[in-house]
Amino acid sequence: MSSTRLVRLAVPVAIVIVVLMMVVPLPAALLDVLIAANIATSLLVLLVSLQVRKPLDFAVFPTIVLVATLFRLALNVSSTRLVLRDGYAGHVIDAFGHIVIGDSIIIGLVVFAILIVIQLTVVTNGAARVAEVGARFTLDAMPGKQMAIDADLNSGLIDEDTARARRKEVASEADFYGAMDGGTKFVKGDAIAAIIITLVNLVGGFAVGMIQRGMAPGEAIAQYSLLSVGDGLVSQIPALLMSVATGVIVTRSTSEGDLGGDVMSQLAKHRDALRIGGAAVLGLCLIPGLPKLPFLIVGSLVLLASTRANDPETELAALPGGAIAMPSGQPALVEPERDPVTESLRVDPLELLLAPDVVDLVDPARGGDLLDRVRALRRKTALDLGVVLPPVRTRDGAMLAPGTYEIRIGGISVATGEAPSGCLLAIGDAMDGLPGRHTTEPVFGLPAVWLPVEYRASAELTGATIVERAAVVTTHLAEMVRQHASRLLSLDDVRELLEVLKSDRPAAVEELVPSLLPLSGVQRVLQGLLDEQVSIRDLARVLEGVGQRARTTTDPDALLEAARASLGPALTQAYVRDGVLRAITLEPAVESQLAEALRAGEQGVVIALDPVTAQRLVSDIAALMTASEQRGELPVVLVSGPLRLPLRRLLKGSLPQLPVIGFAEASGLHQIETVGQVSSGREFAA
């Protein structure tokens, strides 16, 4: 049998033997060996607890507490049987009894009672309280720690493997403190049991000695008191060691060293405190009546320790990332900390604020998977639009109404929604018979109902579409990201995209930037494409088209149209169904009239119509789009090239989702089907 298998079997076999010890009588010699093993085990556990750097390094400790407690109770049962049956329980118990009692039974019993009180009321109760508070605060801090890990992952500070390891550590820490909260109850129960067992031994031994053995009362008290105190002492010393180890573990905070090293290093940092303390102890020698020698020795040792302590100024050189060592006699230069006021000026590009009662959506312990959905959204956005979203900062919105959330871009609120706890969103036509609060789906504007979770089956029977709360929030966030993608594309993002492209297509980048166009010019072109929901994933082709046009002009509108022309059919692919592009067109007369109204402005070429005429044109196009959508079609507006961008600017305010395509961009398609046409029955004059 291999050594690994023997190690695995050792603990189960030991537990079975411990249980048998409570039933099967043990000889006194074997009991001596087991008592020695009990003391050695408790001492070893205490020493290990002093050496660990963080509690999770000794994660098996709660189980050890349980097994050790069971072992001590089994020893108590075995020793009690020997004490009452034979009046002798081995050399170890007899020796401990003589050490404590000595020549006075009363003094021995008092000392033993003090040991019991110290363990029960001080060490054990303190450790139990710390474990309880630690477990509560650890569980309360889990959502925040999970959000911090996901924020680091979203920002690229850590990879998936590191995030997975940190999540596992957070979960293990919560499990550990929960187990410690229960483990301290075993230690406390063990101390109470020791008191009861000692009283039973005293009373039972006195009765057995006088009734069965015919001893005199004084002789019975002397013999059985010695054995009872010895038995209690050999149990309470390991129990006290285990209680101290428990207290050390639950009060241990994460650090880079063991307990001894931390204590010495942290005390040594305070030289002035050691000097003042040593001087104060020496000052006690001046008080009449006090012995001089003890205070003189202790005060001198403290002053000696202060001379070997490190100066706090010289310690600055060892601070990570902070100080710089300077020559002797010169002050150390410390890197200034970040100003909190400056930090408060930072604006997160993309934020998701959750009301306090909605935070469960990001807590995996309560089934929340919102952060996983947000990560998936970032990947999907990169594939669909070719843009890597900035990290989505998810935080608590204490000022939000219950059950709501808010989406911010650049610190400005762009959308709000609701995701009440304990509810699901049911979307469908027959919503009147469902219990819950009627609302509107935030992205598509469909009628919906927030219904309690227990009515899910009833809603599905009516044909309603059931959407989880996290899916509602993610879908809403995705729509806002798609609409405001151009605002989210920063200059640094453009630089990063170009650096990635440069490794594969260096010529496409080097020919354009910065010789023909600055980085900000490229950003403006890409923002223009994103503003019209055009993917920039094929960035090389975009740069090639822009580079050719940039040789003759740097006009932003011309560069944008050149970028669109380079993408070609990719622009219209999303709107083609079964090889057919369904389009709303303008009659030639209408296009001619609009072309005459083109004017150059600060924001580019626009269609200069009076408000009433412009609204009439927008209304006609909106009516044709609505009619087409009711037939299940996905229409676009198809116009000549010079009119495309000005008409897009005119329609953007009222019909932001309606694509405007130029005839050149739609070339090469199998078929173009006109689903509506703006006729010349109206005059569109400037």
Poorest-confidence range of 87-91, 318-322, 476-480, 641-645?
A: 318-322
**Sequence-separated (6 or more) residues with CB below 8 Å from residue 289:** none
* 3-state DSSP helix/strand/coil % of the chain, to nearest 5: 65, 10, 25
Residue-wise pLDDT for 350-381, tens only, equals: 999 999 999 889 888 788 888 888 888 888 88
Q: Is the pTM of this model over 0.85?
A: no
One-letter amino acid of 60: V
Residue-wise pLDDT for 245-295, tens only, equals: 777 776 665 455 556 666 666 666 667 777 787 788 788 777 877 787 887
**Sequence-separated (6 or more) residues with CB below 8 Å from residue 668:** 568, 569
Q: 124, 5, 12: which is closest to 67 by C-alpha?
A: 12
Greatest Cα-to-Cα distance within the chain, rounded to the nearest angstrom: 130
Higher pLDDT, residue 12 or 660? 660
Q: Of 63-77, 402-416, 432-446, which one has max mean pLDDT?
A: 402-416
Contact at 8 Å (CB) between 451 and 468? no
Locate the DSSP E strands across 400-490: 404-409, 412-418, 423-427, 437-440, 447-452, 465-467
Q: In angstroms, rounded to a whole number, what is the distance separating the alpha carbons of residues 207 and 221?
A: 9
Residues linked to residue 466 through DSSP beta bridges, in sequence order:
426
Give the pLDDT mean for 304-327: 51
One-letter amino acid of 261: G
Q: In angstroms, rounded to a whole number, what is the distance separating the alpha carbons of residues 430 and 445?
A: 16
Poorest-confidence range of 235-249, 385-399, 401-415, 624-638?
A: 235-249
Contact at 8 Å (CB) between 333 and 323? yes
Residue-wise pLDDT for 459-483, tens only, equals: 887 778 889 999 999 999 999 999 9
Overall residue count recorded for the chain in this entry: 686
Give the pLDDT mean for 432-437: 82
Give the pLDDT mean for 135-151: 67
pLDDT score of 473: 93
pLDDT score of 27: 81
pLDDT score of 404: 94
Taken in order 52, 53, 59, 63, is the CA torsion positive or negative? positive
Count the neighbouring beta carbons within 10 Å of the beta carbon of residue 324: 11
Higher pLDDT, residue 646 or 174? 646
pLDDT score of 523: 92
pLDDT score of 143: 67
pLDDT score of 684: 46
Q: How far is CA 599 from the centre of its chain?
A: 54
Q: What is the CA radius of gyration of the chain?
A: 40
Evaluate if residue 21 carries a pLDDT over 70: yes
Give the pLDDT mean for 164-168: 82
Poorest-confidence range of 103-112, 287-296, 401-410, 502-511?
A: 103-112
Contact at 8 Å (CB) between 214 and 93? no
Report in angstroms the alpha-carbon separations of 153 from 148, 162, 167, 391.
9, 9, 11, 8
Evaluate if residue 631 carries a pLDDT over 90: no
Q: In angstroms, rounded to a whole number, what is the distance separating the alpha carbons of residues 410 and 24?
A: 75
Contact at 8 Å (CB) between 154 and 394? no
Poorest-confidence range of 154-168, 328-342, 425-439?
A: 328-342
Give the pLDDT mean for 493-512: 88
Give the pLDDT mean for 53-67: 77
- Output the 3-class SS for 154-223: HCCCCCHHHHHHHHHHHHHHHHHHHHHHHHHHHHHHHHHHHHHHHHHHHHHHHHHHHHHCCCCHHHHHHH
Contact at 8 Å (CB) between 127 and 250? yes
Residue-wise pLDDT for 539-571, tens only, equals: 999 999 899 999 999 888 899 999 988 887 778
Evaluate if residue 501 carries a pLDDT over 80: yes
One-letter amino acid of 453: V
Evaluate if residue 415 carries a pLDDT over 90: yes
Evaluate if residue 185 carries a pLDDT over 50: yes
Q: Which residues of 36-48 are buried (b: 16+ CB within 10 A; e: fewer)?
A: eebbebbeebbeb
**Sequence-separated (6 or more) residues with CB below 8 Å from residue 482:** 381, 384, 385, 533
pLDDT score of 328: 41
Q: Integer distance in angstroms from the first to the last C-alpha of the chain?
A: 97
Residue 584 confidence class, pLDDT cut points 50, 70, 90: very high
Count the neighbouring beta carbons within 10 Å of the beta carbon of residue 315: 15
**Sequence-separated (6 or more) residues with CB below 8 Å from residue 224:** 83, 87, 201, 202, 205, 206, 208, 209
Tokens read off for 218: 């004084």
pLDDT score of 267: 63
Count the neighbouring beta carbons within 10 Å of the beta carbon of residue 157: 12
pLDDT score of 413: 93
Contacts 24+ apart (CB under 8 A), 140-144: 142/170, 142/171, 142/174, 142/363, 142/365, 143/359, 143/362, 143/363, 143/365
Looking at every residue in the chain, the average pLDDT score rounds to 79
Tokens read off for 366: 């309560």
Taken in order 634, 639, 645, 646, is the CA torsion positive or negative? negative
Contact at 8 Å (CB) between 241 and 35? no
pLDDT score of 355: 92
